[in-house]
A and B are shown apart, each in its own frame.
Chain A
Amino acid sequence: MIDALTAIVWIAGSAFALLAAIGVLRMPDVFTRMQASTKASTLGLGCLLIGAGLQFGDFASFIRVLGIGAFILVTTPVAGHVIARAAYLADVPLWDGTVLDERRDHTAVYPPSTR
């Protein structure tokens, strides 16, 4: 029973990880690539962690698995936001099909002397 559940969850998790990688390869610009990578990789790693927790079944490793999961869930959105902000401020070109760029007339967050 536990093995069957683990098998399902691991197949789903590795499929999500593969989808994240394909998204990073195929998407047209940095921002779309980043959203493919962050969302799908957290979901994929979450599924794999559930499977690992089921397989171990003891308390010490369960806490470690929970720790990795919580850490990834907290840090991945932060990292994605920081990369997107840095890329935008470094004037990385947007995709041609972008329909909305609310910061088009942005003033620099930091004045040029401090950049």
Chain B
Amino acid sequence: MLEIVTHIALVTLGVALLIAVVRLVKGPTLPDRIVAMDLIGVLVVSLIVVLAASTQVTATLDAAIVIALIGFVGTLAYATYVERGHPE
């Protein structure tokens, strides 16, 4: 039973990832794209967590930690870039 649930969760997360990519491509302003990028980071972390739990490989969780860290720092960097300059 858990196998089916794992597949459902992975497919749902994949659909969510696709929707976030639609916003990333469409987003009228740069902050919209940053929000979408942040959401994509969280969704990738959750995909990795589900995969790690279903394959029982603990080392995969370290990758999730690293991606969460890099996503946060990247969001801060993008936000600083938006706040400082007005690129035309």
Contact = CB atoms under 8 A, between A and B. Distances in A.
Interface of A: 3-4, 6-7, 10-11, 13-15, 17-18, 20-22, 24-25, 30, 33-34, 37-38, 41-42, 44-45, 48-49, 51-52, 55-56, 58, 60-61, 64-65, 67-68, 71-72, 75-76, 78-80, 82-83, 85-87, 89-90, 92, 115
A24 B39 contact: yes
Given A85-B83, A90-B82, 17 more contacts: A14-B50, A18-B13, A21-B20, A24-B20, A24-B36, A25-B19, A25-B20, A48-B49, A61-B52, A64-B65, A67-B65, A71-B65, A72-B45, A83-B75, A86-B31, A92-B31, A115-B84
B75 A71 contact: no
Contacts of B83: 85-86, 89-90, 115
Contact of B2 (A7, A42, A89): A7
Contact of B80 (A44, A68, A72, A86): A86
Contacts of B6: 10
Nearest to A35: B35
The A contact surface, by secondary structure, is: helix
Nearest to B20: A21
28 contacts: A3-B2, A6-B53, A10-B9, A11-B5, A11-B9, A14-B16, A14-B50, A21-B15, A21-B16, A21-B20, A24-B39, A30-B29, A33-B23, A34-B35, A41-B43, A42-B42, A48-B9, A48-B49, A51-B50, A60-B58, A65-B49, A68-B64, A71-B68, A76-B42, A83-B31, A86-B31, A86-B79, A86-B83
